[in-house]
Amino acid sequence: MEQVYIGLGSNLAEPVQQLDAALSALAQLPSTRLVATSAYYSSAPLGPSDQPRYTNAAAHLETDLMPHDLLDQLQAIELNQGRQRKAERWGPRTLDLDVLLFGQHILDDERLCVPHYHMHARPFVLLPLAELCPTDFILADGRKLADLLQQCPIDTTLQRLHTPQLCSV
């Protein structure tokens, strides 16, 4: 089974409940096991500032699904929770599920970029991910998670909220 890390985010329609529901849905994916979840974090929106704050987290999965099959499953969860894909990038959304890491795979095509293309500059991605990974964790592209954390821009607006009861493993 591949070790996979998913980034979760929401800033519409009760974001904490959106993440709770998404974690429940992740736990039900075929050929997949939800191993652990990070705490929830509140962050300022990336992009247009006239939108609500985001609630973010990360999840660690083990899966036998292929990368694009997992992506299809994640997009189905997003749609099921009211996600509407719009041309506006970084706009408000009920749910965003991103494949951050997929084992030792490096992918870059029109649908999927793994490791996630911009996670190195997003504290709301790296901090939850770091809760789930060992301190000496090395990404498939050779970067060390500890180095990414150290080099990541400081976000003074990022707030740790709580660890979800639903999927604490």
Q: Kindly list the catalytic residues.
A: 83, 93, 96, 98
Do residues 139 and 99 touch, judged by C-beta distance below 8 A? no
Burial readout 119-136 (b: 16 or more C-beta within 10 A, e: otherwise): bbebbbbbbbbbbbbeee
Q: Which residues of the chain form beta strands (DSSP E)? A: 2-10, 32-37, 40-43, 54-63, 96-102, 107-108, 113-114, 159-162
3-class DSSP state for residue 113?
strand
Do residues 75 and 119 touch, judged by C-beta distance below 8 A? no
Q: What letter does residue 45 receive in the DSSP assignment?
A: P
Beta bridge partners of 101: 5
In angstroms, the CA 24 to CA 37 distance is 11
Residue in the block written with tokens 């707030």: 159
